[in-house]
Protein backbone atom coordinates (compact mmCIF):
# COMPACT_ATOMS: atom_id res chain seq x y z
CA UNK A 1 0.00 0.00 0.00
CA UNK A 2 1.38 3.40 -0.92
CA UNK A 3 -1.18 5.79 0.56
CA UNK A 4 0.33 8.18 3.07
CA UNK A 5 -2.33 7.38 5.65
CA UNK A 6 -2.16 3.61 5.36
CA UNK A 7 -0.99 1.54 8.30
CA UNK A 8 -0.47 -2.07 9.16
CA UNK A 9 -3.90 -3.49 10.05
CA UNK A 10 -2.21 -5.80 12.52
CA UNK A 11 -0.64 -2.89 14.37
CA UNK A 12 -2.07 -2.51 17.86
CA UNK A 13 -4.28 0.54 18.32
CA UNK A 14 -4.60 2.31 21.67
CA UNK A 15 -7.14 4.81 23.00
CA UNK A 16 -5.87 8.30 23.95
CA UNK A 17 -4.08 8.25 27.30
CA UNK A 18 -5.77 10.09 30.20
CA UNK A 19 -3.96 13.11 31.72
CA UNK A 20 -2.96 11.14 34.82
CA UNK A 21 -1.16 8.53 32.71
CA UNK A 22 0.61 11.22 30.68
CA UNK A 23 1.62 12.97 33.91
CA UNK A 24 3.15 9.75 35.26
CA UNK A 25 5.13 9.31 32.04
CA UNK A 26 6.34 12.92 32.26
CA UNK A 27 7.45 12.44 35.87
CA UNK A 28 9.41 9.31 34.97
CA UNK A 29 11.02 10.69 31.82
CA UNK A 30 12.14 13.90 33.51
CA UNK A 31 13.16 12.14 36.70
CA UNK A 32 11.14 14.55 38.83
CA UNK A 33 11.45 14.12 42.60
CA UNK A 34 8.66 16.42 43.76
CA UNK A 35 10.47 19.71 44.44
CA UNK A 36 11.16 21.01 40.93
CA UNK A 37 10.04 24.19 39.18
CA UNK A 38 8.26 22.99 36.04
CA UNK A 39 7.01 24.90 33.02
CA UNK A 40 4.23 23.34 30.94
CA UNK A 41 4.06 25.03 27.55
CA UNK A 42 0.67 24.86 25.89
CA UNK A 43 -1.34 24.03 29.02
CA UNK A 44 -4.56 23.84 26.99
CA UNK A 45 -7.52 23.07 29.30
CA UNK A 46 -5.25 22.67 32.33
CA UNK A 47 -5.98 19.01 33.06
CA UNK A 48 -2.44 17.77 32.36
CA UNK A 49 -0.87 20.76 34.13
CA UNK A 50 -2.96 19.99 37.21
CA UNK A 51 -2.09 16.29 37.08
CA UNK A 52 1.63 17.13 37.00
CA UNK A 53 1.28 19.63 39.86
CA UNK A 54 -0.41 16.96 41.97
CA UNK A 55 2.80 14.91 41.74
CA UNK A 56 5.05 17.77 42.91
CA UNK A 57 4.09 18.51 46.53
CA UNK A 58 7.19 20.65 47.15
CA UNK A 59 7.50 22.04 43.64
CA UNK A 60 5.66 24.47 41.42
CA UNK A 61 4.11 24.17 37.96
CA UNK A 62 3.54 27.10 35.62
CA UNK A 63 1.27 26.54 32.67
CA UNK A 64 1.35 28.99 29.78
CA UNK A 65 -1.40 29.21 27.18
CA UNK A 66 -2.09 31.64 24.34
CA UNK A 67 -5.88 31.23 24.37
CA UNK A 68 -7.69 33.64 26.70
CA UNK A 69 -10.70 31.33 26.95
CA UNK A 70 -8.60 28.29 27.85
CA UNK A 71 -6.48 30.25 30.30
CA UNK A 72 -9.56 31.59 32.07
CA UNK A 73 -11.24 28.20 32.35
CA UNK A 74 -7.99 26.51 33.47
CA UNK A 75 -7.39 29.05 36.22
CA UNK A 76 -10.98 28.70 37.43
CA UNK A 77 -10.89 24.89 37.44
CA UNK A 78 -7.34 24.17 38.61
CA UNK A 79 -5.83 27.43 39.90
CA UNK A 80 -6.05 26.18 43.50
CA UNK A 81 -4.99 22.75 44.67
CA UNK A 82 -3.93 21.08 47.91
CA UNK A 83 -0.29 22.15 47.46
CA UNK A 84 -1.01 25.66 46.17
CA UNK A 85 1.68 25.03 43.56
CA UNK A 86 0.07 25.79 40.22
CA UNK A 87 -0.22 29.00 38.24
CA UNK A 88 -1.49 29.75 34.73
CA UNK A 89 -0.09 32.59 32.63
CA UNK A 90 -0.88 34.04 29.23
CA UNK A 91 1.94 33.64 26.75
CA UNK A 92 3.19 32.65 23.31
CA UNK A 93 5.99 30.11 23.10
CA UNK A 94 8.32 32.21 20.96
CA UNK A 95 7.78 35.31 23.11
CA UNK A 96 8.62 33.80 26.49
CA UNK A 97 10.98 36.01 28.47
CA UNK A 98 11.93 33.53 31.20
CA UNK A 99 15.62 33.34 32.03
CA UNK A 100 16.99 30.22 33.79
CA UNK A 101 13.82 29.89 35.87
CA UNK A 102 12.81 26.24 35.46
CA UNK A 103 14.29 22.88 36.36
CA UNK A 104 12.16 21.09 33.76
CA UNK A 105 10.06 22.08 30.76
CA UNK A 106 7.31 20.07 29.11
CA UNK A 107 6.29 21.07 25.60
CA UNK A 108 3.79 18.77 23.92
CA UNK A 109 2.70 19.80 20.40
CA UNK A 110 3.05 23.54 21.02
CA UNK A 111 6.05 23.75 18.68
CA UNK A 112 3.89 22.61 15.75
CA UNK A 113 1.97 25.88 16.06
CA UNK A 114 4.99 28.17 16.44
CA UNK A 115 5.44 30.69 13.64
CA UNK A 116 9.21 30.68 14.21
CA UNK A 117 10.32 27.27 15.55
CA UNK A 118 13.98 28.25 15.95
CA UNK A 119 13.06 31.27 18.05
CA UNK A 120 10.59 29.18 20.03
CA UNK A 121 13.17 26.54 20.96
CA UNK A 122 15.60 29.33 21.83
CA UNK A 123 13.03 30.65 24.31
CA UNK A 124 12.74 27.16 25.83
CA UNK A 125 16.52 26.90 26.20
CA UNK A 126 16.69 30.33 27.84
CA UNK A 127 13.99 29.38 30.32
CA UNK A 128 15.85 26.31 31.58
CA UNK A 129 18.15 26.61 34.56
CA UNK A 130 21.63 25.10 34.39
CA UNK A 131 21.17 21.36 34.10
CA UNK A 132 17.46 21.82 33.42
CA UNK A 133 15.71 19.08 31.48
CA UNK A 134 13.37 19.24 28.50
CA UNK A 135 10.68 16.86 27.27
CA UNK A 136 9.52 17.94 23.83
CA UNK A 137 7.00 16.16 21.62
CA UNK A 138 5.84 17.22 18.17
CA UNK A 139 3.72 15.78 15.40
CA UNK A 140 5.99 14.48 12.68
CA UNK A 141 5.68 14.22 8.93
CA UNK A 142 3.69 11.27 7.67
CA UNK A 143 0.02 10.45 8.22
CA UNK A 144 -0.99 13.96 9.27
CA UNK A 145 0.07 15.43 5.93
CA UNK A 146 -3.17 14.30 4.27
CA UNK A 147 -5.18 15.53 7.24
CA UNK A 148 -3.57 18.97 6.98
CA UNK A 149 -4.22 19.07 3.24
CA UNK A 150 -7.88 18.33 3.94
CA UNK A 151 -8.06 21.01 6.63
CA UNK A 152 -6.59 23.52 4.18
CA UNK A 153 -9.42 22.72 1.78
CA UNK A 154 -11.98 23.30 4.55
CA UNK A 155 -10.60 26.62 5.77
CA UNK A 156 -10.24 27.87 2.19
CA UNK A 157 -13.94 27.30 1.62
CA UNK A 158 -15.98 30.54 1.50
CA UNK A 159 -18.04 29.22 4.40
CA UNK A 160 -15.01 29.27 6.71
CA UNK A 161 -12.13 31.29 5.29
CA UNK A 162 -13.32 34.55 6.90
CA UNK A 163 -12.26 33.12 10.28
CA UNK A 164 -8.70 32.21 9.26
CA UNK A 165 -6.39 35.05 8.35
CA UNK A 166 -2.63 35.30 7.99
CA UNK A 167 -0.75 32.57 9.84
CA UNK A 168 -3.46 32.00 12.46
CA UNK A 169 -4.03 28.43 11.26
CA UNK A 170 -0.40 27.39 10.78
CA UNK A 171 0.54 23.88 11.88
CA UNK A 172 4.02 22.65 11.00
CA UNK A 173 5.08 19.03 10.73
CA UNK A 174 8.71 18.13 11.48
CA UNK A 175 11.22 15.47 10.58
CA UNK A 176 13.16 13.98 13.48
CA UNK A 177 16.52 15.27 12.32
CA UNK A 178 15.06 18.71 11.65
CA UNK A 179 13.70 19.23 15.14
CA UNK A 180 16.83 17.71 16.69
CA UNK A 181 19.00 20.24 14.83
CA UNK A 182 16.82 23.09 16.06
CA UNK A 183 17.20 21.93 19.67
CA UNK A 184 20.96 21.46 19.43
CA UNK A 185 21.38 24.85 17.78
CA UNK A 186 19.60 26.37 20.79
CA UNK A 187 22.13 24.82 23.17
CA UNK A 188 20.12 21.79 24.26
CA UNK A 189 22.17 18.61 24.66
CA UNK A 190 19.97 15.73 23.54
CA UNK A 191 19.87 12.35 25.23
CA UNK A 192 17.01 11.04 23.12
CA UNK A 193 15.46 11.72 19.72
CA UNK A 194 12.84 9.15 18.73
CA UNK A 195 10.26 8.85 15.99
CA UNK A 196 7.33 6.59 16.83
CA UNK A 197 4.35 5.76 14.69
CA UNK A 198 1.24 4.61 16.53
CA UNK A 199 -2.47 4.20 15.97
CA UNK A 200 -5.07 6.02 18.07
CA UNK A 201 -8.22 3.97 18.69
CA UNK A 202 -11.48 5.92 18.94
CA UNK A 203 -14.46 3.74 19.72
CA UNK A 204 -17.17 5.61 17.79
CA UNK A 205 -18.08 8.82 15.96
CA UNK A 206 -18.61 10.68 19.23
CA UNK A 207 -15.12 9.76 20.44
CA UNK A 208 -13.69 10.90 17.12
CA UNK A 209 -15.40 14.29 17.43
CA UNK A 210 -14.14 14.76 21.00
CA UNK A 211 -10.61 13.82 19.93
CA UNK A 212 -10.77 16.27 17.02
CA UNK A 213 -12.04 18.99 19.35
CA UNK A 214 -9.07 18.49 21.67
CA UNK A 215 -6.45 17.94 18.96
CA UNK A 216 -7.47 20.99 16.93
CA UNK A 217 -8.65 23.22 19.75
CA UNK A 218 -6.62 26.26 18.69
CA UNK A 219 -7.99 26.02 15.15
CA UNK A 220 -11.58 25.45 16.26
CA UNK A 221 -11.30 28.36 18.70
CA UNK A 222 -11.04 30.78 15.79
CA UNK A 223 -14.58 29.94 14.71
CA UNK A 224 -17.46 31.74 16.47
CA UNK A 225 -19.06 29.66 19.21
CA UNK A 226 -22.36 29.26 17.42
CA UNK A 227 -20.64 27.62 14.43
CA UNK A 228 -18.05 25.44 16.15
CA UNK A 229 -20.11 22.25 16.15
CA UNK A 230 -20.63 22.68 12.42
CA UNK A 231 -16.89 23.19 11.90
CA UNK A 232 -16.03 20.13 14.02
CA UNK A 233 -18.46 18.13 11.85
CA UNK A 234 -16.63 19.34 8.74
CA UNK A 235 -13.32 18.19 10.21
CA UNK A 236 -14.86 14.86 11.22
CA UNK A 237 -16.08 14.30 7.66
CA UNK A 238 -12.51 14.70 6.47
CA UNK A 239 -11.28 12.12 8.97
CA UNK A 240 -14.14 9.80 7.96
CA UNK A 241 -12.98 10.01 4.35
CA UNK A 242 -9.37 9.25 5.22
CA UNK A 243 -9.98 6.65 7.92
CA UNK A 244 -13.33 4.87 7.44
CA UNK A 245 -15.01 3.25 10.42
CA UNK A 246 -14.12 -0.34 11.22
CA UNK A 247 -16.80 -3.02 11.38
CA UNK A 248 -17.26 -2.38 15.09
CA UNK A 249 -17.83 1.34 14.51
CA UNK A 250 -14.40 2.44 15.74
CA UNK A 251 -11.83 4.63 14.03
CA UNK A 252 -8.10 3.98 13.87
CA UNK A 253 -6.05 7.12 13.29
CA UNK A 254 -2.32 6.74 12.51
CA UNK A 255 -0.06 9.43 13.95
CA UNK A 256 3.66 10.12 13.91
CA UNK A 257 5.25 11.40 17.13
CA UNK A 258 8.76 12.76 17.63
CA UNK A 259 10.08 12.85 21.19
CA UNK A 260 13.17 14.76 22.27
CA UNK A 261 14.73 14.66 25.70
CA UNK A 262 17.67 16.79 26.68
CA UNK A 263 19.16 19.29 29.07
CA UNK A 264 20.88 22.64 29.13
CA UNK A 265 24.39 22.68 30.59
CA UNK A 266 26.22 25.73 31.88
CA UNK A 267 27.72 27.73 29.03
CA UNK A 268 25.83 25.84 26.33
CA UNK A 269 23.46 28.67 25.39
> Is a pLDDT exceeding 80 seen at residue 171?
yes
Residue 3 resides in a domain: no
Write out pLDDT tens, residues 180-223: 999 999 999 999 999 999 999 999 999 999 999 999 998 999 99
Rounded to whole angstroms, the Cα distance separating 145 from 139 reads 10
Rounded to whole angstroms, the Cα distance separating 234 from 30 reads 38
Rounded to whole angstroms, the Cα distance separating 103 from 38 reads 6
Share of the chain above pLDDT 70, in %: 94
The beta strands (E) that lie in the chain are given as 13-14, 37-41, 60-65, 86-90, 102-108, 128-139, 189-202, 251-263
Q: How many domains does the chain have?
A: 1
Using CA atoms, how far residue 227 sits from 69, 133, 160, 223, in Å, is 16, 41, 10, 6
Residue 95 resides in a domain: yes
> Is a pLDDT exceeding 90 seen at residue 39?
yes
In the prediction, which pLDDT does 267 show? 62
CATH number of residue 130's parent domain: 3.40.50.150
The reported pTM is 0.92
Residue 50 resides in a domain: yes
In the prediction, which pLDDT does 2 show? 34
Domain with 259 in it: 13-263
Of 120, 168, 155, 167, give the one whose Cα is nearest residue 231: 155
Amino acid sequence: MDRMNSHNPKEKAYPPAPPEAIAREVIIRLGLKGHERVLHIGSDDGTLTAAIAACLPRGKVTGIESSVALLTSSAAAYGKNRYNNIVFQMGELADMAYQSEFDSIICLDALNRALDPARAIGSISNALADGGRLLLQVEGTGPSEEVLAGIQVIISDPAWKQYFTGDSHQFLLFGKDEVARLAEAAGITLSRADLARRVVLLRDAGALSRWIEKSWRSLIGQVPGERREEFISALAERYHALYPQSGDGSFQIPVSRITLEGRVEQGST
